[in-house]
Structure 1
């Protein structure tokens, strides 16, 4: 029902007025914060955890709602401005706060300016990171307000019986032929890092870290092969908090075979156990407190940090994360293989699509039927598991909605009159993919050709850069934007994100963005990142080009002070539409880069597209990889 949001906000505000704040006294809260996260800070979340979507109508993966007695606001970034405005339910009750734009107040600034003196702001401590809690707490307390950890989630109370059930799917082993390292080796590396940093307890709350550490996979979260669990490692034990019945016999046996004896606990007991463990740790190390530190990331939820009590915390990204983002030799080779098979599916799709569009197929291919056909081609590939995120199949003005998701209400035909942007990826047992290509199957405008070319120039600039090891990814972001900036153009999303090895398609903390990531450990050989500049003309079209690339050692003329220099090597091999380029604004180096890249695409994919069933794809590949000249 279109106006259901009014009822929801009214119910929420009634609950806010009856919240018990101090010693059971009913004082109420003046604002409540509803974020996008689950208890594990996941990017994609199960339906049960989509509380911000439920209260606001906005479906994007990033955003924070703040509701007071009279106002409802949502903060999100440039990927979602258009989408949020279109999805607010009801739209007249919500105000969009455009993060990253001049004049937009931060959440802290708005609360301080809008709330009456000595207000209380409530938030579920299980659903907010410690870093964000501290930032909000410090800002609000300085202004005379209080940040209150709520005892129960107010959205869950008004959602009631209609709230979807918690996902609980099977947990299966990820084989050594894909992981390249046993769980026992990974646990041993964790303990070595713990001893080096004088920590006796390591708390692991990120689901992809749990899956990576134990060489297990699941399907509790859409698009990410992970499962709900926490792990706590001590110097002698490994504790796993999970619904034990979910683990297959093979998963349990592999843990034993890989040298990890797990002590299982119910998932919901993690806070109770952590508190007890810390109390016993304090008693055992009264005279040697330095050896009893607890290692916990700053992005773990605040509820876990609350349980740490007086024990000294070592707050840093976990040793698991550092292992995970730098792929070993087995993971590197498997990722390459997965991306080659994925490229075969994409070439077959784009060849099929161009033929359908140019032959005026009746009925026309639409955003949804196109995305479905692409998934069909991917399902034909060996080791396919599922998509790595919802396919962004977008025509014309929908391409300007950076994370557009077609629906029956918005579905448009793909024609030769408008730009088509397709951002898609897949999960294979041996790797995770993420690829974006932009096409025009007719006659693009000169402006569309220019911005497509400037986006391509930015991609080449980043793809070919040589840089010193350990430099932050933030330092490279300008390279992808310079050609656009030269013309007074820009895009409001990051340029690159880490990519998991059959794990999350967006793998933190490595990134290439105008926004620095505080936990970025620096770029190192073996890391996989995307390279995806773009441009978006609201209401008209969008352009984005995305390859996944990994970091390798670079050959340089000099070896100054023995500094290691690195560069990128692509593992995505899908042609870039040359007919959409304005070759006059390319330099010779960029032309050579594209011709060499296309020659590689043909060399790698040609032998895999033999036979009558692949004739259409092979002919398209040959056409799209023809060399260009100035």
Structure 2
């Protein structure tokens, strides 16, 4: 179980700084993101975690002179309630009567408040809207230095990992081919150039990887691409001779910090030539200010859109790495079952460590794609649980075990969840599991016309659960990078209305992960990675074209957890076909007569 961090001294120091004449702010806003709007950040950028003690990946803290509030979504309600101390109020975003953090600033703070923000970690889009809303009550945004950095003792140094270069054997296209395509997109939009600030976008665009952010193969960088030149801004210690040779003469390497000077230098020429630079909607406010807001237009990043649609080389890499990854997971489940049967005492962290070892045996393994969620019983209900010694619970064979894990391979990224019971599940656990499975199958087998979004498909995952009055507080699916971030947009499957703006198209990756969680008892989730593909339907109404999914995760779904009386004939056919494919595709990756192979053969039996 997670424990609360005593934040009293930290909050007091922050409030003292807020009240100082130099800053004089009523409140200070601390988002989770870094200057690149990354979902997962380096230790030196974990400011919200430092001030609040809450370590989840999503959330925002607001510290005023009188109160402190932490906003997070349904994935983290339980974890946050355990990690926040008495200085903090947990705001459960999305629940009735709970304001958004923007509404909180406008309605819960005194009129005329000065709201301090660090423009490096705030998007220009968010700042513009919030400033307008605050003005209605006489309040205002005040750009400042990052006050958390000023009070953070022993703040970790910014990492400078050496850059890794990728060949077209795994990327399918050279970086100059991608840049030329980007230039064509910019020409169509009528803009002078594009400022690339997302770390995964830059890694993809330049066919390079790093390790500056835990489990995310990215490196600190910015890029400016125009019709005439391409600048890549890197930390000097990260640049190797191999990287320079890879980038070639067409890409100018410049110091990471100098991007803001270059943007300021561009401002006057843009204005005199009546030109605009494109900024992605997730670009930080400091960059917009440096360029001059009047010299910019905002839109979703064209690099994000291009990256989301994998080419044939990337798709085949995803298929192949998932076969090896499935073998590692099967070996782990067989090993864990045997250890528990023999009475070996293991905690959740032991399990996570052993699973990583099985993955490390696979060809092309680089590292984990996120911290393994190895959770037993009540901890399974903490949706993004991370087991750590000494607080990790002993894996109890009498309780439901949930394992959500993934790997980074040179040819792709994996993300898979399985829920198991090593003895005998009770009737309620089986029924809940089966309702989750039915939702999983409904999404997997969906056929839909061109133009359909993941927002529209989400109900398929919840229908069976809803029939029993059950649900879950997270999305049903997210994109997955190609040896990149495990969470990748802009598309997804869930109740966020923004997902309705991005139709699913062939080449996209999408997880399929419905679940169900009972606080204090258990968690259930079944997750596969799928590829969006064209399908030949019986008809083609409207000549639109129809799409479906290809699942590339091939790990058996535990048979003893299924309540077969709830399953339809077609659902049982799906299970049998899926398990037959697991046997066919993964057997060659398992040693003959190994515990893993025997486990696969047993768990993939026809029902």
Compare 432-441 and 516-525 and name the one that shifted more: 516-525
Match of 1:296 among 267, 279, 294: 279
Separation in 1, partners of 2:513, 2:17: 44
Deviation at 1:303, TM superposition (A): 1.0
Alignment of 1:321 with 2:313, yes or no, is no
- Find the residue that maps to 1:282 and give its secondary structure: helix
Matches within 5 A, 1:559-570: 559-570=540-551
- Assess if the C-alpha contact under 8 Å between 1:63 and 1:77 holds in 2: yes
Can you list the C-alpha shifts for 1:117-169, whole angstroms capped at 9, x where unaligned? Answer: 2111111010011222223222211222111111x111111114x11111111
Give the structure 2 partner of residue 6 of structure 1: 8
- The two structures have a TM-score, normalised by structure 1, of 0.94
Deviation at 1:293, TM superposition (A): 1.8
Separation in 1, partners of 2:572, 2:136: 56
Match of 2:73 among 77, 82, 88: 77
Match of 2:165 among 147, 153, 173: 173
Deviation at 1:520, TM superposition (A): 4.6
Give the structure 2 partner of residue 240 of structure 1: 232
Give the structure 2 partner of residue 24 of structure 1: none
- Find the residue that maps to 1:404 and give its secondary structure: coil
Separation in 1, partners of 2:549, 2:370: 24
Deviation at 1:224, TM superposition (A): 0.7
Alignment of 1:156 with 2:139, yes or no, is no
- Assess if the C-alpha contact under 8 Å between 2:438 and 2:461 holds in 1: yes
Match of 1:56 among 44, 52, 57: 52
Deviation at 1:230, TM superposition (A): 0.2
Match of 2:271 among 255, 274, 282: 282
Give the structure 1 partner of residue 217 of structure 2: 225
Aligned residues: 605
Alignment of 1:358 with 2:354, yes or no, is no
Deviation at 1:472, TM superposition (A): 1.9
Matches within 5 A, 1:179-578: 179-256=171-248, 261-283=250-272, 285=273, 289=274, 292-309=275-292, 311-361=294-344, 364-517=345-498, 520-578=501-559
Separation in 2, partners of 1:79, 1:29: 31
Deviation at 1:518, TM superposition (A): 6.2
- Assess if the C-alpha contact under 8 Å between 1:511 and 1:520 holds in 2: no
Deviation at 1:357, TM superposition (A): 1.4
How has the CA–CA distance of structure 1 residues 236 and 605 changed in structure 2, closer, same or farther, with 3 Å as cutoff? same
How has the CA–CA distance of structure 1 residues 627 and 518 changed in structure 2, closer, same or farther, with 3 Å as cutoff? closer
Deviation at 1:5, TM superposition (A): 1.3
- Assess if the C-alpha contact under 8 Å between 2:492 and 2:499 holds in 1: no
Can you list the C-alpha shifts for 1:440-499, whole angstroms capped at 9, x where unaligned? Answer: 111212111111000000000001111122322111111101111111111000000000
- Find the residue that maps to 1:97 and give its secondary structure: strand
- Find the residue that maps to 2:86 and give its secondary structure: helix
- Find the residue that maps to 1:199 and give its secondary structure: coil
Give the structure 1 partner of residue 591 of structure 2: 610
Q: Which runs of 5+ in 1 are unaligned?
A: 22-27
How has the CA–CA distance of structure 1 residues 315 and 2 changed in structure 2, closer, same or farther, with 3 Å as cutoff? closer
- Assess if the C-alpha contact under 8 Å between 2:454 and 2:500 holds in 1: no
- Assess if the C-alpha contact under 8 Å between 1:511 and 1:517 holds in 2: no
How has the CA–CA distance of structure 1 residues 34 and 574 changed in structure 2, closer, same or farther, with 3 Å as cutoff? same
Match of 1:65 among 40, 61, 66: 61
Separation in 1, partners of 2:38, 2:5: 29
Q: Which runs of 5+ in 2 are unaligned?
A: none
Match of 2:30 among 29, 34, 49: 34
Separation in 2, partners of 1:264, 1:280: 22
Compare 98-107 and 392-401 and name the one that shifted more: 98-107
Separation in 2, partners of 1:451, 1:135: 42
Give the structure 2 partner of residue 597 of structure 1: 578
Separation in 2, partners of 1:623, 1:3: 45
Alignment of 1:44 with 2:44, yes or no, is no
- Assess if the C-alpha contact under 8 Å between 2:435 and 2:464 holds in 1: yes
Separation in 2, partners of 1:230, 1:429: 23
How has the CA–CA distance of structure 1 residues 180 and 616 changed in structure 2, closer, same or farther, with 3 Å as cutoff? same
Deviation at 1:110, TM superposition (A): 2.0
Give the structure 1 partner of residue 123 of structure 2: 129
Deviation at 1:581, TM superposition (A): 0.6
- Find the residue that maps to 1:497 and give its secondary structure: strand
- Find the residue that maps to 1:93 and give its secondary structure: coil
Can you list the C-alpha shifts for 1:488-526, whole angstroms capped at 9, x where unaligned? Answer: 111000000000000000001111011122695321101
Compare 503-512 and 302-311 and name the one that shifted more: 302-311
Deviation at 1:105, TM superposition (A): 1.4
- Find the residue that maps to 2:7 and give its secondary structure: helix
Can you list the C-alpha shifts for 1:47-103, whole angstroms capped at 9, x where unaligned? Answer: 100111111111111110001111111000111111111112xx1111100011111
Give the structure 2 partner of residue 111 of structure 1: 105
Separation in 2, partners of 1:625, 1:340: 15
Deviation at 1:4, TM superposition (A): 4.7
- Find the residue that maps to 1:92 and give its secondary structure: coil
Separation in 2, partners of 1:520, 1:333: 27
Separation in 2, partners of 1:427, 1:319: 25
- Assess if the C-alpha contact under 8 Å between 1:278 and 1:311 holds in 2: no
- Assess if the C-alpha contact under 8 Å between 2:381 and 2:518 holds in 1: yes
Deviation at 1:240, TM superposition (A): 1.1
- Assess if the C-alpha contact under 8 Å between 2:199 and 2:219 holds in 1: yes
Deviation at 1:394, TM superposition (A): 0.2
- Assess if the C-alpha contact under 8 Å between 1:172 and 1:247 holds in 2: no
